[in-house]
Amino acid sequence: MFLVNILVFILVLGLVILIHELGHFLMAKKAGILCHEFALGMGPILYSKKIGETLYSIRAIPIGGFVMMAGEEVNDEMIKIGQAIKVKKNANGLVDEIILDVNDPHYEDCEAIDVFFVDLKGRDEGPLMINEHRVDTQAYYIMKGKRLQIAPYNRSFESKTISQRFGAIFAGPFMNFVLAFVLFVLIAFIVGFPVIDSNELGDVRDNSPASQLFEIGDRVISVGDTEVDSWVEFVNAMARYEGTRNLPIEVLRGDREIAFTINPRIYIYSIGISSHIDTSDVVRIGPVIDGTLADQAGFLSDDVIVAVDGTDINDWATFIQIMKANTAGNTMQFTLLRGSDTVELNIQPYDEGLLNAQGVRIVESLIGVSPTTERAFLRSFVSGAVGVRNSATMIFDTLRLLINNDRVGVGDLAGPIGIYTITSQALAQGFVVFLNWTALLSVNLGILNLLPIPALDGGRLVFLGYEGITKRKVNKRVENTLHLVMFMLLMGLFIFVAYNDILRLFNLR
């Protein structure tokens, strides 16, 4: 299973990176920019194939990728005045290979020259020249077994209009949004849309409170003393009785009315506990998940909560009311009954804003049933757009928490190991959850790349904006220096986040 998870992780990460770089590549090609290499991964090349003028490669480290566009370098002139080189000409008498290593034995018969004039840009639409030799516009530099096509000015990134350069840069993140949109549309078409004007059960989840009582096709006709005619009324009734144990629910199965009592599973997300499956008369908690606030504070499965901040707790309704009232995440003192012992523990719950940013509430009460669904082709496209919007909102809320919330820090970010862990968990929960995670990851990559930080696409767009406003290009050496410095800082952050991923993986943090 580990090997399967690794393979899926590489495929998912490769897909979102491939789509991102493909956006850059396609728009660059459309603008006429020479693309030397289209690479997936970083580090040494594992496999490469030259197609046309571009080298397509897969590199050893399956993180990141790049499109090497001509003209992005500070100084892409490979030869200078006074340099000794060799040249090889084609049948038309044009130089088509420029050998930078004059001692290369493979080119010992080629003409050696000392450069006193060079123009391999053709900025004024003149011919490309080395001394008196005309150079083919598709000639190659030859250096230590590597071939690199020369880039006349009209094929370079810097020669293109602002709109063309903007398109080549923005297309990467944009394609991530397109991928997410397609995946969310697919999810909506697979899952369907709830039929909210019906009270019929479309699904009963395994190992849920409802799994031993309800059947698919049952129609809920009452919850407690509230009659139910639609799914909306059912949801509202369940919210009204949140925390009630031995909750009466009546269903219509065929032509028979059947009455049950059920204990909804209660989740307290602010501290990371849930109700015990057998609890009804006391506030007994179920399994405590590793790494949650409750686990860190010392809560154990089967603990019974008897008081919070000095207030006696005799039922789940009272406990829920107290937990929901603590929206600011103030520290709380819990008195627990552990067997015959009394234990007091302090815990600071997550605040409501932090939970909302992750798409969860402080408290949720579930029995494990879902409504019937229907497929709607056009509505799926609307759902795709909503999915992208909601994912973007969640990511921006998370970024805002990094700045404004002292409970969240850089150490809580997930790097490659964290992404692997989440991908494995999503895969284990089913195909739809896996697709949803892939879509969220793609939106994440798109948004992070648009942040106005040098070394990222957003930083490059800022420089283009400056050029558009001032009508002056940013000094390329200054721009590339800023990109390099920020890239090194981001690599430092990458290592720090990966280190914290490892600590979390082995429960050391």
| Coil, strand or helix at 440 | helix
Provide the residue type at 131 as one letter.
Answer: N
| Coil, strand or helix at 423 | helix
- CB 358 within 8 Å of CB 440: no
Predicted pLDDT of residue 74: 53
Predicted pLDDT of residue 508: 61
Sequence-separated (6 or more) residues with CB below 8 Å from residue 292: 271, 272, 273
Euclidean distance between CA atoms 249 and 255, whole angstroms: 16
Predicted pLDDT of residue 291: 81
Can you give the residue ranges of every domain in the chain? 84-150, 194-374, 376-505
Q: For domain 194-374, give its CATH number from 2.30.42.10, 3.90.1150.10, 3.40.50.720, 1.20.1560.10.
A: 2.30.42.10
Sequence-separated (6 or more) residues with CB below 8 Å from residue 75: none
- CB 26 within 8 Å of CB 10: no
Question: Exposed e or buried b for every residue in 172-188, given b needs 16+ CB within 10 A?
Answer: bbbbbbbbbbebbbebb
Sequence-separated (6 or more) residues with CB below 8 Å from residue 462: 452
Euclidean distance between CA atoms 448 and 165, whole angstroms: 19
From the centroid of its chain, how far is CA 402?
16
Euclidean distance between CA atoms 380 and 405, whole angstroms: 35
Sequential DSSP letters for 340-380: TEEEEEEE-PPPHHHHHHTT--SEEEE-SEEE-EE--HHHH
- CB 392 within 8 Å of CB 447: yes
Euclidean distance between CA atoms 295 and 509, whole angstroms: 12
- Of the chain, the end-to-end C-alpha distance in Å amounts to 25
Of 39, 43, 23, 41, residue with least CA distance to 31? 23
- CB 135 within 8 Å of CB 121: no
Percent of the chain with pLDDT over 90: 73
The mean of the pLDDT values for the chain is 91
Residue 226 host element (H or E):
strand 226-227
Q: How does pLDDT run along the chain (509 residues), one tens digit per residue?
A: 788 989 999 999 999 999 999 999 999 999 999 999 999 998 999 999 999 999 999 999 888 899 999 987 655 678 899 999 999 999 999 999 999 999 998 899 999 999 999 999 987 778 999 999 999 999 999 988 788 899 999 999 999 999 999 999 999 999 999 999 999 999 999 999 999 999 999 999 998 999 999 999 999 999 999 999 999 999 999 999 998 999 999 999 999 999 999 999 999 999 999 999 877 779 999 999 888 999 999 999 999 999 999 999 999 999 999 999 999 999 999 999 999 999 999 999 999 988 888 888 999 999 999 999 999 999 999 999 999 999 999 989 888 887 777 776 666 677 777 888 888 888 888 999 999 999 999 999 999 999 999 989 999 999 999 999 999 988 888 888 898 899 898 888 888 888 887 877 676 65
Residue 435 host element (H or E):
helix 431-449
Alpha helices in 272-415 (DSSP H): 293-297, 316-325, 352-357, 377-404
Q: How many CB atoms lie within 10 A of CB 340?
A: 5
Q: How many CB atoms lie within 10 A of CB 49?
A: 9
Predicted pLDDT of residue 64: 87
Predicted pLDDT of residue 356: 87
